[in-house]
Chains A and B, each alone.
Chain A
Amino acid sequence: MRARFGGLLFLALAATLPLWLRDPYFVAILTSTGIFIIAAISLNLLLGFTGQLSLGHAAFFGIGAYTSALLSLGFDVDIGLPSPVVVDPKPVWIAFFGAVVVSGLFGWLIGKLAFRVRGAYFVIVTISFAEVMRMVALNWVDLTEGPMALNNIPPLSVLWPGHGLTALVTKSQQYWLVLAVGVVCYFLVARMVRSRLGRALIALRENEPLARSVGVRVTHYLVVATVVSAAIAGAAGALYAHCVRIVDPDVFLFIYTVTMVIMVVTGGKGTLAGPVVGGLIFGLMPQALRGTAPPEVQWIIYGIGIILIVFFLPRGIVPAFADLARLRMPALRKPASLVR
């Protein structure tokens, strides 16, 4: 009940933010943080709820970014067929959902490949996959422009009453777009983990032999989780492409995956609010530190922050505060639920 009230309050604050915080720079920072939070939410589905560590999650993000950019820009490539493949520019939302589908398909592929043998093998497959994707983006210049990057990606647009089709170009508009997509992704994941499907995922994480003994099909559910996770990461990548409006092979860099992992782990993996809390803290911290200290010192503070959280709150911030709330208010001393 209180959690729901807190969530609504948070949402109301977030939704009205550009109206009372008239600082376009800060709104832009929140927008890019929001995109990362969506990616972290998708990673959490795998890392937090199935316990599988995808260290190549930036690959799904990058595939989403490139797919949406290419579909909205149109492209022609020669792949050895009699005539080159020509794709005309598609409407932006078709490009966006195309990106979600393509990322999901890659998730399916990686899931099928990697979950035959799990654990460390999955980690290696995902890392390699992201690196291969980066090489493709760098070297398949005909398609991706390589290091020159894809430029002039059109912004997403909405039908605005009275204004017709409106391109989302201002900082505030992009902020609301990311917030809207983020809320949708959050609730999709919430519904998923609070269903029979989510219980199967948690069961596999908690005790795989027991889960199998009562009929939970391991590979099937891990693949489903990977597909959904990859699709949401792809949506985040597509948002990135249409907000930043330029995509280069660096979207596949390992550091982006690491950022997502940090957000999930510090916020609290396996909790719904964890990636949001962790994402806000570690997305905004560099900005908060900006100007207060030289860059090297900022990085050190950033690193120490992570270490302190992981050391003192090994399960993350959200579970720690949930425990605290239970201790302080006896009325709330209900058992921890499967999904917070």
Chain B
Amino acid sequence: MTEVGENGAARNVALDVRDLAVHIGGLVALGGISFQVPFGAIVSLIGPNGAGKTTAFNVITGFMKATDGQVFFRGRDLARLSPERIAALGMVRTFQRTSLFTACTVFENVLTALHLRGRTGLLGALLRLPAMQREEAALHAEAREILDFVGLAGRADEIAGNLAYGEQRLLGLAIALAAKPTLLLLDEPAAGLNPSETESFKQLIRRVRERGATVLLVEHDMQMVMSISDQVLVLNQGRMIAAGSPAEVQRDPEVIRAYLGSGKRAAA
């Protein structure tokens, strides 16, 4: 049963999205969608190209303004918060198109992404206080640990832009993990990966969840979605057309129609 707090927000769900709408010019990118993501779950958001999945991510994480509706993260209204504030609250997203600090090394990428784990400010940096040096050592150790976790430890000194595509996707995940999300939003992490890379990415997402993070996943690979998700949300042309367990969603006639109608990728 959903427990409701003072502001009407559900407190025992990680994410509570209500009637979220985004109009871009005359286009309705999101036409008022509502859903919840329970703590500890892996929830997938699927839908044909242009359905509004990335737009939903952008609004939820503060990169775009909503036209209407509300987003609550752990019971807290995120209205008008900047992406960096939202990240500090524990909600971190990855990007559909690989996004790295390409000119920097893999290690530096993760070290930079550990920003929220450190506290050193101007004075600490200029005076190089002992506290700052201890913090640096701790951040270095943490960066190595994260690279180890995603399997990029051997590539630490490589320039990020020189990594193979699959490795770049892993680094994108490592960067997001470095911000220690309690809710991780993944935008098509397996796009462009071969089947074995996809399989190991799937295991990685499971391990992220085992470490205590909640996951909201946008993905076109139906095999992956149906095998990993506790719940699946289906978006089509900015509207939520179905929500339920993988099995329920796969049987839903409207879902089947949306996917066949779009002529792109068939469900399952």
Contact = CB atoms under 8 A, between A and B. Distances in A.
Contacts, number: 109
Contact of B100 (A192, A207, A335, A337): A207
A303 interface: no
Nearest to B135: A196
A199 B111 contact: yes
Interface in A290-340: 334-338
A234 interface: no
B175 to A, nearest CB: 6
B125 A210 contact: no
B54 interface: no
Given A215-B87, A336-B159, A228 B122 contact: yes
Contact of A196 (B82, B100, B120): B120
Nearest to A224: B122
Given A195-B125, A199-B108, A202-B112, A213 B83 contact: yes
Nearest to A197: B125
Given A203-B115, A214-B178, A196 B157 contact: no
B268 interface: no
Chain A CB within 10 Å, residue with most, of B87, B125, B128, B175 = B125
Contact of A199 (B61, B83, B112): B112
Nearest to A200: B115
A182 interface: no
A214 B122 contact: no
B92 interface: yes
The interface centre, meaning the residue of A197, A198, A209, A213 with most chain B CB atoms within 10 A of its CB, is: A213
B152 interface: no
Interface in B31-87: 61, 63, 82-84, 87
A214 B101 CA distance: 12
B102 interface: yes
Given A199-B108, A207-B101, A212 B115 contact: no
A188 B126 CA distance: 6
Interface in B151-182: 157-159, 175-176, 178-179
Interface residues on A, range: 20 to 34
Interface in B103-138: 103-105, 108, 111-113, 115-116, 118, 120-122, 124-126, 128, 132, 135-136
B95 A213 contact: yes
Most buried by B among A188, A202, A207: A207
B139 interface: yes
A121 B82 CA distance: 21
A335 B101 contact: no
Interface string B168-204: 0000000110110000000000000000000000000
Nearest to A336: B159
Nearest to B119: A196
Interface centre among A199, A209, A215 (most CB of B within 10 A): A215
A37 to B, nearest CB: 20
A202 B111 CA distance: 12
A218 B82 CA distance: 10
A91 to B, nearest CB: 24
Contacts of B262: none
B175 A214 contact: yes
A142 interface: no
A291 to B, nearest CB: 43
A214 B104 contact: no
A308 to B, nearest CB: 25
A215 B116 contact: yes
B116 A335 contact: no
Given A216-B84, A336-B105, 12 more contacts: A197-B120, A197-B121, A210-B175, A211-B112, A213-B83, A214-B92, A214-B178, A215-B92, A215-B115, A215-B116, A217-B84, A337-B108
Q: Name the 9 nearest CB pairs between A and B, nearest first.
A: A195-B125, A215-B87, A215-B116, A214-B179, A212-B83, A206-B101, A196-B120, A199-B112, A214-B113
24 contacts: A191-B125, A195-B124, A195-B125, A195-B136, A196-B132, A196-B139, A197-B120, A197-B125, A199-B111, A200-B115, A210-B175, A211-B115, A214-B113, A214-B115, A214-B178, A215-B87, A215-B115, A215-B116, A217-B82, A218-B84, A228-B122, A335-B157, A335-B158, A338-B105
Interface of B: 61, 63, 82-84, 87-88, 92-95, 99-105, 108, 111-113, 115-116, 118, 120-122, 124-126, 128, 132, 135-136, 139, 157-159, 175-176, 178-179
